[in-house]
Every structure is written in C-alpha cells, then in structure tokens.
Amino acid sequence: VVATFKATEQLTFILNYDWARQENATSLVDGSTIKANWSGVAAYVNYQPSEQWRWSLRAEYLDDEDGYRTGVIQEWKEATLTLAYLPTESAEIRMEVRGDRSDESSFVESNGAKKDQNSAGLEVIFKF
C-alpha cells in the first residue's frame, strides 16, 4: 500500500506499507523449510524549493521475523537524508547520508558484527 499526499507544489509526503508471506521458503538462518513472513513501513518527506534542488528524508522499519529477507531474524530501522541537484531534466546528482540500526548484531565489520552502521553516498543518475 502506498499513499502520497502533495501538500504543496514543493512538499510531498509518502507512506508505504508492505506485508509478505512465502510458503515453503528455505530459511537463510538454518536451511529448514518455513512459512516466511516479513513486513515493513517507510515514510518519506520530499521538498523541492526550486527546479534544480530537492531534499528528501526517509525513515524505514523492517520486521524480518523469520530472517528470510536479510538472513538474520531482526527488526531493522533506517533513516536517510538526501540532497539532490538536478542540473537538467535528464540528469540528477544525489548526496546521501544514512544510518541503520538493528536489534541484532547484523552489520559485519573486519573486527566482528555490530548493531548499527552509517554510510554516505554520491549518485549520478542519467534519465532517458
């Protein structure tokens, strides 16, 4: 289910809910055959003050109750802040910072696993 509310020409709110079940799924946790269930919700705020600039804030929650989607039985939360520059109609440059947090140590590093991670990214998108 996706709901979009365009408050103004510049400001948009989006809410997304997903629920899924798969019969006879192979567990990524122990290899057994399971009835896998997972669900998630995401909320977005997009603000575009001009034709060339947009920022977005996204927050997501995933309940991977059987570990089927991620390989770990966990509840995962994420937040991303994006600044986008649109120099032309067919190009977009995005800078993002993201924070992830799980109730399990599922983010692997060279010295072990931890419950959270942060990342930054730069994307160049060409639309055709």
Instruction: Please provide residue 70's backbone torsions phi and psi, each rounded to the nearest 5 degrees.
Output: -120, -10
Residue with tokens 């798969």: 22
| pLDDT of amino acid 66 | 86
What residues does 54 pair with on adjacent strands? 84
Instruction: Give Cα 39 to chain centroid, integer Å.
Output: 13
pLDDT of residue 18: 97
Say what the pLDDT of residue 29 is: 76
Residue-wise pLDDT for 78-110, tens only, equals 999 999 999 999 999 999 999 999 999 989 888
- The token pair at 124 is 């160049």
Asked whether the predicted pLDDT for residue 112 surpasses 80, the reply is yes
Q: For position 45, what pLDDT does the model report?
A: 98
pLDDT for position 10? 98
Q: Across-strand partners of 97?
A: 81, 120
Question: Is there a contact between 94 and 87 (Cβ–Cβ < 8 Å)?
Answer: no
First to last CA, the chain: 28
pLDDT digits (tens, 9 = 90+) for 23-72: 888 887 788 888 889 999 999 999 999 999 999 999 999 999 988 888 88
pTM of full prediction above 0.75: yes
